[in-house]
Every structure is written in structure tokens, then in C-alpha cells.
Amino acid sequence: MIGVGLGYLARELASRGMSIQCYEPFADLTLHLETAQLQSGDAGEVFSGLELLADATSGVGTGKRTIIAPYVLALQSYLPQPLRELIAEKHVLTQSRKKYAPIIKRNIDANLLLWHKLPKIQLSAHQSPKLGVAVGAGPTLTACVETLCAARSKLLLVAASGAVPALMSAGIEPDWIVVLESSDAAERDLDFVSPASRLVVFPWSHPAALECNRGLVFAADEDDLHTHSGTSGIAAADLALKLTNRELFLVGMELSDADGEYATGALRESANVARSAPKFMVMRHAAEEWALQNDMCSIMQVVPSGVAPVRGMEPVLAGDFSNALHSRISARIQASV
């Protein structure tokens, strides 16, 4: 619980046998709670400190929930920036679970019969000697699409489903499409899928994905690909990295709204009510975790000027992408001679 207030809710939850960790970001209220004798025996420990909050919430998963008091959200502008960002991130995750939980359950139920008939993806059977490029629907895709088109035959191109309309409108057919999306947006994206593209779907993917390109749809789960970022882009990047040789470009995955949110041609509308929405911070943290897990690989992230790369990735400015890509392609050709 982030924001204990006067302790009434914490005590009520504790009285029902729930185990609670309480964090109060405002020091004056922490002192009040101490004098009110809100002890660990009745409502869990009341603690403070950014590191403690990060540790306490980092493992929140199945069976655990984060409660953020409305007054904390209303007054977060008065908090130190690191604490404000962490609380904003937890709020995004909480709201996302609330929104998507019923959609995911509906899709899993709808997919049940067809899901068990799909072939399981065998990563070892689809290895490629080509240079890997993972593509999301971010604005840098617009700046890089001509380069991708020119070098297409030399690339293993793995696309997040949201990038498919923009790619296909430029005449670029992905080798693989990853459909992590559970909402109806995926169905619109899949209207553009080429009959030759292979799809990777999950139990919770939109049912239209399982019906698309019969014979070329492969089943995967969180044990196969990195999914907990909540974005198809990082799942696509994980697939591309696992099918190629430890070298990967990320295009349209700047995970920032500095130049807008989506590439030209992407059939998506902003889900944000304001710029610099915390959802990008959540995605960047997940991407950072994935990149650091693959620190023996060369992961190059195309970013617009002024946008910091994800930690663990090598930045490539959108204007330099063509030179960087062809340099890597040439190096691979020379190494194979």
C-alpha cells in the first residue's frame, strides 16, 4: 500500500487476515502513524525510503496487489522525482492490469480449442544467418523505412504486430510477426498481413491472430520469449535475437514520445492523456531488464536526436541508421569469406 493516510484501510485489510506492507511517502503522516501505533502486528510495517519501496514492489505478481492512495497521486508533484517516477510506474501497471485482465481471460477462453492445435515454436529449427532487425511502430520506423526496404534481402525482419501496416504500405514483408496484443487493435493490424508471413501468438493474443495465415502460426508462451514488458516490440526483439547471431537492430522502438508515439501508417491512436506518459517509462525499464540479460549480445537501438537509449543498448541516431546497417552487413559478408 502506497499512501497509508490515517491507517483505516490498512487496519481493515489486516483485520481480514491480509499481509500488508505500507509505504507512506509523506514524513508527517509517517510520524502520525507511529504515534497512532499502527504496528506490524496489525497492519504490516510502515516504512519509508525509495530503495525500500522499490524492493517491496519489485516482486509484485500473482496474488499480490499494489494499492496507491488517491491523495498520493494528487500530491505526487510535491515528491522527489525518483519517487514520483516509481509511483507513476506502479500506477500504470495497476491500471493496465485492471484494464487487460478481463480481456486476457476472454481471449484465453476463446482461443482454447485452436490453441492446442497450433505447433509450438521451435527456435532451433528457424535459425537464420542474416542480420536481425526487430521493428516496432515507433516514429523512427518512418525515418528508417527506405533503408529497410533497400536492404530487405539481407535481413531477418521480425515485426511487432503494430508495425505491420506501416511496413506493408512500404512494400516490406516481415519474416515473422509477433502478436502479443490482446485488444482489438491487433485485428486491425492483421488485415495487412502477407500470406507468407509467419506469426507467433500467445494464449492471450487476440483470437484473430490464431485464425490468420493458417499453417504459419506458431504458439509461444512466456518461457519462450520475453513478454512481461507488455509490448510486442520487446517480444519481437527477443525472437529476432534468438533466431540470429547475437547482433540486432531495434527500429521503431525508441520507447519515447519525443517525436510522437507512432510511425506514419501505423493504425494506432494515442492512449495517453498527456505527453511523456509513464507507460513509456514502464516499457523502457522492461526493455532495460531484457537488454541487460543479453549483455553478451550487440543490441543497437535506433533513437531520434535528444532521446537517451535504453541502458544496455548501443544508440544509433535515425539519420545514421543506413550507414550503421550497411557497415554491419559488410562486416558479416567479409567474415563469411
CB burial readout 151-184, b (16+ within 10 A) else e: beeebbbbbbbbbbbbbbebebbbbbbbbbbbee
Residue 204 has what pLDDT? 92
Q: Where are the alpha helices (DSSP H) in the chain?
A: 8-15, 27-35, 40-43, 50-58, 70-74, 81-115, 140-150, 164-169, 185-190, 207-211, 232-243, 278-293, 321-336
Taking 50 as the pLDDT cut, the residues of the chain under it are 35-37, 39-44, 59-62, 273-276
Q: How far apart are CA 167 and CA 197, in angstroms?
A: 12
Whether 329 and 151 have beta carbons less than 8 Å apart is answered as yes
Residue 36 has what pLDDT? 47
Q: How far apart are CA 236 and CA 213, in angstroms?
A: 18
Q: Is 85 helix (H, G, I), strand (E, B) or coil?
A: helix
Q: How far apart are CA 72 and CA 48, in angstroms?
A: 14
Nearest to 238 by CA among 248, 255, 226, 221: 226
Q: How far apart are CA 60 and CA 63, in angstroms?
A: 8
Residue 41 has what pLDDT? 43
Domains and CATH numbers, the chain: 8-96 (no CATH), 118-336 (3.90.1480)
Beta partners for 219? 120, 201
- pLDDT (tens digit per residue) in 36-67: 445 444 444 555 555 556 555 554 444 567 78
Q: How far apart are CA 41 and CA 149, in angstroms?
A: 64
Q: How far apart are CA 66 and CA 326, in angstroms?
A: 47
Nearest to 108 by CA among 232, 210, 239: 210
Whether 220 and 236 have beta carbons less than 8 Å apart is answered as no
